[in-house]
A and B are shown apart, each in its own frame.
Chain A
Amino acid sequence: MSDPGRPIAEEELHAFVDDQLAPDRHPAVLRYLQEHPDMAREVAAWRAQREALRAAFAPVADEPIPPRLGLERLIQDRLGRRGVAWRIAASIALAFTLGGAGGWFLHGGLHPASAVLTLMAQQAIANHVVYTADRRRPTELGAQQRDDLARWVSNRLNHKVAPPDLSADGYAYIGGRLAATPDGPAGLFMYDGPDGVRLTVFVLPLHMDETLPLQQVDVAKVNGWAWIDKGIGYTVVGRLPTPELRRVADLVRRQYGGAT
């Protein structure tokens, strides 16, 4: 493509030094350097300079990466910070669908649990905040249509699931709905507790096989407990004291057959 007979430009001498010269120009450059010893010395000096700079700065890249620059930690810092702006949370959640980022955490040999659970809990908490605030129609199907809802959600999730029964513990089931997440449909079940506190149970199949133990998750000052059992993610969310919310999460987990 280039004319092998054309004169050598200084740019080509630099490209030669940087191994960026088009292969068909190599013979011409080599010939030129043989015929011009001054330029050959110059080029040798550039190349030696390049090698010396690489050697001088190489040790920095061989150092262990300081903990504060660890990628997983940075992600967790961004996600886990209390009161994190919803805009930031949403932007990260958009990019980090669990199928993608979750896989990175789980297979990258890194400590995965908190980040994956936080990512999932963001979806749960977003749906909790939006739907529990709706006084007129918080649910799509009410308590009387419990079986219909279970069938509908199970079909869409391709996973058999029904609202857990928490009535013995003072939480009355008031209905549920299908929720949307970047990872696909989720089931959202809603409960009324003492003092009008609303609680939601969020179920999301994650297209992975892992099991992760129960962990507390906070997003934007809303508390939750989340876990993953054989690839199905669960989050229990509500503005309740942490120990009480933990107790409810354990109840839900037992009903879904997870180990406590």
Chain B
Amino acid sequence: MTVSGVLTRIEACIPALRRYAAALLRNREDADDLVHDCLVRALDKLHTRRDEADVRAWLFAIMHNLFISQLRRARVRPAGEPLDESHDAAASLRPDQESHLQWRDLVRALNQLPVEQRTVILLVSVEDLSYAEAANVLGIPIGTVMSRLARGRERLRRLTEEGEVRPALRRVK
């Protein structure tokens, strides 16, 4: 392997890691702390990398494990708990967009899903991981990824459609 290549790939993943962490955690500072811990852990384990392939999935797996152990130690509050407006993940979203309100409702609905469904939806829908990669990152069988994805999407749809403000669900290509 070349260390150069792995470092370059790690660096390229930082924006996506921040996006995923911001979606998981209710405040951005906690999110960046999680990314920080993930990068430090990755650098410590760099000598275990034998090739440059799958660096992205490797990083998401490290971050997922850190996230889960933080949840267990209750060090951070996941995005699903009662929201404080100013530290709401939705509050960090593009304010100048017309659909801002719709996104905020969508993100809030997402935060009401169980963590297991939320992580699958985010990894697959937002981070573009393949089902196999998501299964790897989460340490679960691919069939479980599929069932969590199906249940999560269905629940998210009901939550947004039954909400007071309907999200932008009509922008279909």
A: which residues have CB within 8 A of B?
10-11, 14-15, 18, 20, 42, 44-63, 65-66, 68-69, 71, 74-75, 78, 88, 91-92, 94-97, 100-101, 103-104, 107-108
Contacts and interface: CB of A to CB of B under 8 A. Distances in A.
Given A49-B153, A74-B43, 4 more contacts: A44-B172, A52-B168, A95-B49, A104-B3
Given A20-B131, A96-B46, A56 B103 contact: yes
B86 interface: no
Interface in B98-114: 99, 102-103, 106-107, 110
B19 A68 contact: no
B72 interface: no
Lowest 5 A-B CB distances belong to which pairs? A100-B3, A95-B47, A104-B4, A61-B15, A95-B46
Contacts of B47: 91-92, 94-95
B172 A60 contact: no
A52 B103 contact: yes
Contacts of B121: 53
Give the interface residue-count category, chain B.
35 or more
B137 interface: no
A65 B131 contact: no
A52 B167 contact: yes
Contacts of A69: 14, 18, 32, 35-36, 39
A100 B16 contact: no
A60 to B, nearest CB: 4
For the complex, would chain B's binding face be called helix, strand, loop or mixed by DSSP majority?
helix
B163 to A, nearest CB: 13
Contacts of B16: 61
Contact of B3 (A48, A52, A61, A101): A101
A69 B153 CA distance: 32
Given A53-B125, A71-B10, A91-B47, A60 B3 contact: no
Nearest to A65: B14
Given A56-B106, A68-B32, A91-B47, A49 B169 contact: yes
27 contacts: A14-B153, A45-B157, A48-B168, A49-B169, A52-B106, A52-B171, A53-B110, A55-B99, A56-B90, A56-B106, A57-B19, A57-B23, A57-B122, A57-B126, A60-B23, A65-B18, A69-B18, A69-B36, A71-B14, A78-B44, A92-B47, A95-B49, A97-B3, A100-B2, A100-B4, A103-B4, A104-B3
